[in-house]
Structure 1
Amino acid sequence: MGYLKTAMLMAAMTALFMGIGYLLAGSGGAVFALIAASAMNTFSWWNSDKMVLRMHNARPVDGNDPHGLVRMVADLADNAGLPMPEVYVIETPQPNAFATGRNPDNAAVAVTTGLMQRLSREELAGVVAHELAHIRNHDTAIMTVTATFAGAVTMLANFALFFGGRREGGPGLLGTLALMFLAPLAAGLVQMAISRTREYAADKAGAEICGHPLWLASALERIQEGASRIDNDAAEQNPATAHMFIINPLHAHARDSLFATHPSTANRVAELRKMSGGVSAGKRRQSKSRSSSKSGPWG
């Protein structure tokens, strides 16, 4: 089913790409866009995960792993019945994380330094379990391909300002300006179309993988609090990748609202609390912080 969703997504993005090409240069532009989209589909399938990791300056975790992150990922991957993914760290104070890769055999989990600094070990385990759920559900292929295409559609739409309005029979100046805004919006809508069910499903599966829904619920609250006030410069420069993160990393610019691809954090937390029998994640977190205040988040 994951591969079917990916194929449908590629077809939708290809159609959008061809439509922009037609508006820019007629039937010849549509053919060129089809060829370009075919090449991009192939390239994205094999390389989009590496591109996204580079966009966010992610570095692989080497043998020096004082926090035990690799061991945590390995243990949770075993719980999830998954091969061991590669583990990356992103140097940014904003707490956040994402998973990437075309399939479970070629996957990676990336967490920020802010996430490791601000979350307890239990909360971090909940986040890692959520990302492993995305891998198991084959969401990562959809997420990485969408990020690549959304960025390309936005770039192509910007070209319309210089070329689209000059072609005889083209959309004209007003049509070109509309294209500049509507094409990226359409790409964003494709991202949002699958976001809600994907995130809720990963929350549920992640809670089952780590065995404690409230660990993830508490983590989501902490990440939302941090992401809403701490900038993530790499994410702001590459807003088309925002849907890949566990919580939307964007907030610094007015355009960020166009990429609000995540369901409400409060609703996600409420669903996780239902899974745990309605116990308050906030109360559990306060109790845990009192008992471990001297040992820190990695105690």
Structure 2
Amino acid sequence: MFKRIALFLATNLAIILVISFILSLFNVQPYLTQYGLNYQSLLIYALIIGFTGSFISLFISKWMAIHAFNIQLIDRPANSAESWLVAEVRKLANQRNIGMPDVGIYQSPEPNAFATGWNKNKALVAVSTGLLQTMNQEEMEGVLGHEISHVANGDMVTLTLIQGVVNTFVIFFARIAAFFVTQFFRRDSDEQAQDGFVYYGVAILFELLFGILATMIVMWFSRYREFRADAGSARYVGKDKMIKALQRLQQLMDKTPEDDRAPAFNAMKISGHNRWLALFSSHPPLEKRIAALEKRN
């Protein structure tokens, strides 16, 4: 846990330093002046802030995942299970015409797998020990087909672009809204220092509000890409194998009381039935994913 917190803090510090450098490099002028808002400077500022963090996170996502989860990359398979895992990923990568991803295993009792990386030809596919212990090879094929589909579809890059766009709009419109609100309630034109302090406080509140709405957009795409990755897996490894993998996950969830589930399991966002909370879920409910696959020819 301490290692993950340290990596998180280091990443955010790096983002702040890079943003400061870019703002200085492009000589971005202050967007809030004594004459009002400079919309051109504000837009440039919002673009730099909105996209820089997203792209830095994308470019270091593979390195971050390896260190945060202590993933052991498989350079030389040590047993038959690792040999099968590497061979299956290689087969799926060849089918989708992408470079062979790095393959790794990390210690976790939760049945989980993920793919990451900024380039679909230099990606990482990682599986948990819990997944290896609870699924048979057919179910594993469905899971791996799903992750390789994410890589082949370029989902990591697309999600980064969407995140950058919504970040830009959130920052841009929050600062505009804050300006007009503070101007409307302004009492004394001489209170410049106080006005500036109040303005940035109101801007933060608007960013939080608009950020909630923006998160709904990002999570909608995240759910859409899960359906698309399921369909890709069904196409290349077989619909039945993908359905079996999802059904197995459902069985494991049903056997685990909700209060006893580890945070990593809850993070999969696959058990919620509250319609409002579902808008902020990165994964659709398993029942809907299974139903969508069953409708496929």
Q: Same fold (TM over 0.5)?
A: yes
Query: Are the counterparts in 1 of residues 31 and 42 from structure 2 also a CA contact under 8 Å?
Result: yes
Q: Distance in 2 between matches of 1:65 and 1:145?
A: 38
Query: Are the counterparts in 2 of residues 59 and 88 from structure 1 also a CA contact under 8 Å?
Result: yes
> Structure 1 residue 215 and structure 2 residue 241: aligned?
yes
Report the TM-score, using the length of structure 1 for normalisation: 0.61
Q: Which residue of 2 aligns with 1:102?
A: 118
SS of the equivalent of 2:108 reads coil
Q: Give the drift of 1:205.
A: 1.1
Q: Give the drift of 1:208.
A: 1.2
Query: What CA deviation, in whole Å up to 9, does each residue of 1:233-286 have, x standing for no partner?
Result: 5x87xxxxx5xxxx43798xxxx867412222112111222336xxxxxxxxxx
* Identical counterparts, % of pairs: 31
Q: Which residue of 2 aligns with 1:156?
A: none
Paired amino acid for 1:231:
A
Report the TM-score, using the length of structure 2 for normalisation: 0.61
Aligned residues: 230
Matches within 5 A, 1:150-165: none
Matches within 5 A, 1:179-218: 179-180=207-208, 182=209, 184-210=211-237, 212-218=238-244
Matches within 5 A, 1:1-299: 34-66=47-79, 67=81, 68-143=84-159, 168-169=195-196, 170=198, 176=204, 179-180=207-208, 182=209, 184-210=211-237, 212-226=238-252, 229=258, 230-233=261-264, 247-248=268-269, 259-275=280-296
User: How large is the Cα RMSD of the aligned pairs?
Assistant: 4.1
Q: Which residue of 2 aligns with 1:296?
A: none
Q: Distance in 1 between matches of 2:164 and 2:108?
A: 22
Q: Which residue of 2 aligns with 1:295?
A: none
Q: Give the drift of 1:30.
A: 7.6
Query: What CA deviation, in whole Å up to 9, does each residue of 1:63-117 have, x standing for no partner?
Result: 2442121112112222333221111222111111111122321211111111111
Query: What CA deviation, in whole Å up to 9, does each residue of 1:9-62 have, x standing for no partner?
Result: xxxxx9xxxxxx989xx8798866654445435533432332244333333123
Q: Distance in 1 between matches of 2:160 and 2:113?
A: 14
Q: Distance in 2 between matches of 1:56 and 1:147?
A: 24
Query: Are the counterparts in 2 of residues 44 and 145 from structure 1 also a CA contact under 8 Å?
Result: no
SS of the equivalent of 1:89 reads strand
Paired amino acid for 1:214:
D
Aligned pair in 2 of structure 1 residues 143, 167: CA closer, same or farther (>3 Å)?
farther
Aligned pair in 2 of structure 1 residues 35, 139: CA closer, same or farther (>3 Å)?
closer
Paired amino acid for 2:212:
L
Q: Distance in 2 between matches of 1:35 and 1:48?
A: 19
Query: Are the counterparts in 1 of residues 227 and 289 from structure 2 also a CA contact under 8 Å?
Result: yes
Query: Are the counterparts in 2 of residues 98 and 110 from structure 1 also a CA contact under 8 Å?
Result: yes
Paired amino acid for 2:107:
E
Aligned pair in 2 of structure 1 residues 35, 194: CA closer, same or farther (>3 Å)?
closer
Paired amino acid for 2:62:
D
Query: Are the counterparts in 2 of residues 203 and 272 from structure 1 also a CA contact under 8 Å?
Result: yes
SS of the equivalent of 1:109 reads strand
Aligned pair in 2 of structure 1 residues 42, 273: CA closer, same or farther (>3 Å)?
closer
Q: Please identify the structure whose Cα radius of gyration is greater.
A: 2
Aligned pair in 2 of structure 1 residues 215, 106: CA closer, same or farther (>3 Å)?
same
Paired amino acid for 1:40:
G
Unaligned runs of 5+ in 2: 1-18, 20-29, 168-181, 183-192
SS of the equivalent of 2:227 reads helix
Aligned pair in 2 of structure 1 residues 176, 217: CA closer, same or farther (>3 Å)?
same
